[in-house]
Structure 1
């Protein structure tokens, strides 16, 4: 029998986080064009009974957090706000013209970058422009990501008035040495103040982002951070593994690999943090997420309604997600599309009346079957299949790879289903990878994903 440490080492390989299947590096761009994308989107929107989700990417930040893997634009010039918002609203207009209607909106999420880089007034202009002419689903949910240092009372009050009830704060770590090296400094007091004000206004769910594996991070420092977080009792906590990809994000070269935790230390950081969160009354949800029993994410998982898309885990099971803004990704279940990554190119294309698409993927029948299995594993911890309608060579190859995972105690496998074990939960990326036919058919010669550790 392989011991726990050996298994952890064995599965410490580069692996996707599976916010989609196929993952972006394995999209077949030859299958994609704007006409096909619009046709697929129209069909999905017309068939959608639950309404659609909107993700708006607001890329601006006043300073660079060196650990960050997001598409950002660093500036202190707030004159960029209005031109960018106008472009986003025009992109939305182009989409609604293609659809021939303004679809019912069930979810809006503002991500970044730093959405609270934008003034409250300009965010109001954005939301009113998106929602004004459209109908809102009766269970519509609005959420945003915010930086504790520039989220004002006015931001919180106006966004709440506009319908925002969920707030996500990027904490990462309260250790001053860690904060300094990743250039992400905020105090416990500032986080406490925003949390209390948001709750007083009526925000229903507050999330904190924490990261393990950051440079200069220690067991003692992270333990203190989590103890501080537990005092504030956010409704949700995202406890992510730091993704070191300096070949993609040069800002991560501000520190060296020697300043990152060793493999054993990073493993210890995760195990300690997970144990503290569970002991503190949080329940593990899918991968990287924890919630209180009173939060809707907990209920969604227990009721089998948990969904995962490019925004992460959500209880909104919409099959249509339209991404607006630079680098945003859209998903209509049978197709993906991503916008260009340059702000200047994005604005130029939209101003000319074009959708600012850079690439995409049209899913084939095998993609759709595998996507369903990976989504089931990520959200429910199990999946099943039937013969012969859901079986082809690629699916059978994935089932055969599952046998090796079963031998290591990560899954329980039968003839027609696979179930993630309690021990296997922390290897969820590896388990899903067994089904990833496109990755196995095109094993990359260089590392393109972060390590699953």
Structure 2
């Protein structure tokens, strides 16, 4: 049994940021321009020891609409659009390469979407060649791609491995046929099991499976069957997300009937079932909604205190600058965040003008940087040392964060954190609610009670 009580699960079933960045993306402003980004890149170029570099490429296309989806995507069966998009990606890569200078080394690459496997094998090879001309992909790096199981077979997985990808992420969500039909994403379990077998045979270093609880027509009984199948599938990593029904923000969700959604009590029961099932199956709980087998590099990194966090979630890679390519992609360079245009029309128009398609972002203040260090220590290490922050930022922690330490007393009383004279320790129970612990130090959130725009913590 898990050590998490149903009372705590209910109490913390509230909206909150995922803290893939701090400040969060909803705080970005249009006053941040491609000129601000150019200055940040210039500072990186002049640094004696620049941060390691990571790449993210957003492929927005999908052949069919999944009703639950809140990603930036374009639904089309016209695969000719991919070739035109690659042409614009080439322009963006060229502009980025010109600013970065040389051929910088990249140790981490992630293709997300949308469905990156919407691209044909030839188009994916073309994209990897484009990236390879501008960046040096370091041996032993992490090169991952999100895979829609309905768009690949064993032959395609072999092709991905030959291109240099060594990590996969399969979108499963749920194996129940009725749930799949309700969200317009039908994919037989046999198909996913065959792909997992092929991925192991080919030698991918790690395979992740995405699951969602709280979907229409899900019940604790049906989800228990899915959990059993996932335990048999035994992916190296599992990402378990709670479905956030926000039809006022995401049009595809308007096709989901409110009456088909599980009740709050059922959703809590499904989460509790999942925690029990994955821990019983031998998975290490990484934090938030991530699990990994004990020998997976993510679990090893947690044991060794080397976890990091970026826009793709938990990572084993050092704190990186991130160059983001493609429509809506979010990057980070130095003390700045930047985001590309969210519509294809605006993205292409800016590139036609010879400009990077950055339309908003944020230059972090000193307070932002201090709080980012605190939040990332909690989210990744589960331990916050006062002295570490004081030495790095030349401040008195207890004075600077007096109000936050007062708030933490309540969480300590609930058994989520332990406080002592040296720092804050997230308890084993508190790991399940680490977002709530981090939220205490979010200056923007504390001043803003309109939190419904975020997904729920659980």
* Matched position secondary structure for 2:204: coil
Cross-structure match for 1:38: 38
In the alignment, the residues of structure 2 paired with residue 133 and residue 349 of structure 1 have an alpha-carbon distance, to the nearest angstrom, of: 21
Deviation, structure 1 residue 27: 3.0
* Matched position secondary structure for 2:288: coil
Deviation, structure 1 residue 201: 1.6
Deviation, structure 1 residue 443: 3.1
Query: CA contact under 8 A between 2:44 and 2:50: conserved in structure 1?
Result: no
In the alignment, the residues of structure 2 paired with residue 364 and residue 5 of structure 1 have an alpha-carbon distance, to the nearest angstrom, of: 39
RMSD across aligned C-alpha pairs, in angstroms?
A: 1.9
In the alignment, the residues of structure 2 paired with residue 8 and residue 141 of structure 1 have an alpha-carbon distance, to the nearest angstrom, of: 34
Does residue 152 of the first structure (1) align with residue 153 of the second (2)?
A: yes
Deviation, structure 1 residue 5: 4.2
In the alignment, the residues of structure 2 paired with residue 390 and residue 298 of structure 1 have an alpha-carbon distance, to the nearest angstrom, of: 33
* Matched position secondary structure for 1:111: strand
In the alignment, the residues of structure 2 paired with residue 365 and residue 72 of structure 1 have an alpha-carbon distance, to the nearest angstrom, of: 35
Deviation, structure 1 residue 390: 3.5
Q: Write the deviation string for residues 109-151 of structure 1: whole angstroms up to 9, x where unpaired.
A: 1101001111000000001110134322233221000111111
Query: CA contact under 8 A between 1:297 and 1:306: conserved in structure 2?
Result: yes
In the alignment, the residues of structure 1 paired with residue 41 and residue 255 of structure 2 have an alpha-carbon distance, to the nearest angstrom, of: 41
Query: CA contact under 8 A between 1:53 and 1:318: conserved in structure 2?
Result: no
Query: CA contact under 8 A between 1:26 and 1:439: conserved in structure 2?
Result: no
In the alignment, the residues of structure 1 paired with residue 233 and residue 44 of structure 2 have an alpha-carbon distance, to the nearest angstrom, of: 41
Query: CA contact under 8 A between 2:171 and 2:209: conserved in structure 1?
Result: yes
Q: Write the deviation string for residues 9-55 of structure 1: whole angstroms up to 9, x where unpaired.
A: 3333221111110011123554x332222222333464555631100
In the alignment, the residues of structure 2 paired with residue 190 and residue 47 of structure 1 have an alpha-carbon distance, to the nearest angstrom, of: 50
Cross-structure match for 2:431: 425
5+ residue gaps, structure 2, are: none
Deviation, structure 1 residue 333: 4.3
Does residue 380 of the first structure (1) align with residue 384 of the second (2)?
A: no
In the alignment, the residues of structure 2 paired with residue 225 and residue 196 of structure 1 have an alpha-carbon distance, to the nearest angstrom, of: 18
Q: Write the deviation string for residues 351-395 of structure 1: whole angstroms up to 9, x where unpaired.
A: 321110121001111101110111111111121223582347763
In the alignment, the residues of structure 2 paired with residue 78 and residue 21 of structure 1 have an alpha-carbon distance, to the nearest angstrom, of: 36
Cross-structure match for 1:279: 280
Does residue 447 of the first structure (1) align with residue 448 of the second (2)?
A: no
Query: CA contact under 8 A between 2:34 and 2:359: conserved in structure 1?
Result: no
Query: CA contact under 8 A between 2:17 and 2:455: conserved in structure 1?
Result: yes
Cross-structure match for 1:397: 403
1:256-405 to 2 correspondence within 5 Å?
256-386=257-387, 387=390, 389-391=394-396, 395-405=401-411
Deviation, structure 1 residue 246: 1.6
Which of 395, 398, 412 is the matching residue for 2:418? Answer: 412
Deviation, structure 1 residue 260: 1.6
In the alignment, the residues of structure 2 paired with residue 341 and residue 364 of structure 1 have an alpha-carbon distance, to the nearest angstrom, of: 25
Change over 3 Å in CA distance of 1:338–1:235 after alignment to 2: same
1:60-99 to 2 correspondence within 5 Å?
60-99=61-100
5+ residue gaps, structure 1, are: none
Query: CA contact under 8 A between 1:28 and 1:362: conserved in structure 2?
Result: no
Change over 3 Å in CA distance of 1:47–1:280 after alignment to 2: farther
Cross-structure match for 1:234: 235
Change over 3 Å in CA distance of 1:101–1:406 after alignment to 2: same
Q: Write the deviation string for residues 378-434 of structure 1: whole angstroms up to 9, x where unpaired.
A: 111121223582347763332222122112211112244111111112211111100
In the alignment, the residues of structure 2 paired with residue 23 and residue 425 of structure 1 have an alpha-carbon distance, to the nearest angstrom, of: 20
Change over 3 Å in CA distance of 1:286–1:390 after alignment to 2: farther
In the alignment, the residues of structure 1 paired with residue 299 and residue 8 of structure 2 have an alpha-carbon distance, to the nearest angstrom, of: 29
In the alignment, the residues of structure 2 paired with residue 408 and residue 193 of structure 1 have an alpha-carbon distance, to the nearest angstrom, of: 44
In the alignment, the residues of structure 1 paired with residue 431 and residue 222 of structure 2 have an alpha-carbon distance, to the nearest angstrom, of: 25
Change over 3 Å in CA distance of 1:299–1:47 after alignment to 2: farther
What TM-score results when the alignment is normalised by the length of structure 2? 0.93
Change over 3 Å in CA distance of 1:139–1:390 after alignment to 2: farther
In the alignment, the residues of structure 1 paired with residue 163 and residue 359 of structure 2 have an alpha-carbon distance, to the nearest angstrom, of: 32
In the alignment, the residues of structure 1 paired with residue 22 and residue 233 of structure 2 have an alpha-carbon distance, to the nearest angstrom, of: 36
Deviation, structure 1 residue 441: 2.3
In the alignment, the residues of structure 1 paired with residue 239 and residue 44 of structure 2 have an alpha-carbon distance, to the nearest angstrom, of: 30
Q: Write the deviation string for residues 260-315 of structure 1: whole angstroms up to 9, x where unpaired.
A: 22121111101111111111111111221111112111111111111111111111
* Matched position secondary structure for 2:35: helix
In the alignment, the residues of structure 2 paired with residue 442 and residue 29 of structure 1 have an alpha-carbon distance, to the nearest angstrom, of: 20
Cross-structure match for 1:109: 110
Deviation, structure 1 residue 257: 2.8
In the alignment, the residues of structure 1 paired with residue 359 and residue 445 of structure 2 have an alpha-carbon distance, to the nearest angstrom, of: 22
